[in-house]
Amino acid sequence: MVLADRYGDGARAEAARIVAAGGRAEAAPLDVRAAAAVDALVTDVLGPSRPRLDYLFNNAGIAVGGEARVLSLEDWREAVEVDLMASVHGVWRRGRG
């Protein structure tokens, strides 16, 4: 299992718990807002020791709070990039094989 997290800390902590319980896991930092980064991680994961990808879970998400009229365009862009485009990046990459 490869766990990815924007800053890496959460993925590293969870991977360590899985390994401590006898499983196999590794962590990778990943900013899902960047299609190229998602593509690169999937390419890195696939290789001679792991020739196929069984599951790719797109579950990144953030919440932007406050009144819509006071949110900045950057707030909206961040929400769309993480909550929508991150899933698109995973599906787009996964659909390419």
Domains annotated on the chain, with CATH: 2-95 (3.40.50.720)
pLDDT one-digit tens code per residue, 32-86: 999 999 999 988 888 888 788 888 888 889 988 889 889 999 999 999 999 999 9
Q: How far is CA 37 from CA 32, 65, 73, 74, in A?
A: 7, 27, 23, 21
pLDDT score for 23: 97
The pLDDT value given to residue 53: 84
Look at residue 54 in the predicted model and tell me its pLDDT. Answer: 85
**pLDDT computed for residue 90 by the predictor:** 85
Average pLDDT over residues 1-6: 93
HSE-up of residue 69 (Cα within 13 Å, Cβ side)? 0
In this prediction, residue 81 carries a pLDDT of 94
